[in-house]
């Protein structure tokens, strides 16, 4: 399942994401992964959550990001939740490709919830992306 949290910069998306991470960690019978660009979440996330700085892996663009998430899923069958902060900083702002990637992620995550923040106003987003708004 893919869910996105949208809003302009400074609208509180990361705070909502952090709360969702903590809630998932409490409820999960498996592993919770949080992907960030940089180190913005380091002090806010419990050590029980696997925190990944995507910059350490030189991942840029929609295709590379999809492969990265697919790799996490293929190596961790107990992964119940994946959270991603600053999605557009990783993938770029091609909303059409973003919608296609969300569709592909939805197909490979029937037992894993992937929650991503997207810094954009809902009016900017095409229907292919809007259908994933939480």
pLDDT tens column, 73-115:
999 999 999 999 999 999 999 999 999 999 999 999 999 999 9
Q: What is the count of structural domains for the chain?
A: 1
| DSSP summary character for residue 27 | H
The reported pLDDT for the residue numbered 46 is 86
Q: To 10 degrees, what angle do helices 95-108 and 62-75 make?
A: 10
Residue 41 above 80 pLDDT?
no
Share of the chain above pLDDT 90, in %: 90
Q: How far apart are CA 31 and CA 82, in angstroms?
A: 9
Please list, residue by residue across 7-29, b when 16 or more beta carbons sit within 10 angstroms of its beta carbon and e when fewer do. Answer: beeeeebbeebbebbbebbeebe
The CATH number given to whatever domain includes residue 66 is 3.40.50.300
Q: Taking all residues of the chain, what is their mean pLDDT, rounded to a whole number?
A: 95
CA distances, 116 to each of 41, 88, 97 (Å): 14, 10, 15
The reported pLDDT for the residue numbered 39 is 81
Residue 61 above 90 pLDDT?
yes
pLDDT tier, 134 (very low <50, low <70, confident <90, very high otherwise): confident
Domain residues for the domain of 21 are 2-130
**All residues at 6 or more sequence positions from 43 whose CB lies less than 8 Å from its CB, including other chains:** none
Q: Please choose, from the candidates 101, 123, 100, the residue with its C-alpha nearest in 3D space to the C-alpha of residue 6.
A: 123
Q: How far is CA 23 from the centre of its chain?
A: 15
């Amino acid at each position: 399942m893919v869910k996105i949290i949208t809003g302009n910069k400074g609208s509180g998306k990361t705070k909502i994401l952090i709360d969702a991470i903590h809630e998932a960690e409490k409820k999960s019978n498996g592993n919770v992964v949080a992907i960030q660009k940089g180190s913005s979440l380091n002090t806010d996330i419990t050590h029980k959550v696997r925190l990944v700085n995507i910059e350490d892996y030189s991942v840029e663009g929609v295709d590379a990001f999809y492969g990265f998430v697919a790799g996490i899923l293929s190596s961790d069958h107990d992964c119940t939740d994946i959270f991603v902060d600053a999605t557009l900083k990783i993938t770029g702002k091609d909303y059409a490709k973003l919608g296609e990637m969300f569709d592909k992620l939805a197909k490979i995550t029937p037992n894993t919830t992937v929650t991503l923040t997207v810094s954009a106003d809902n009016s900017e987003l095409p229907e292919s992306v809007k259908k994933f708004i939480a």
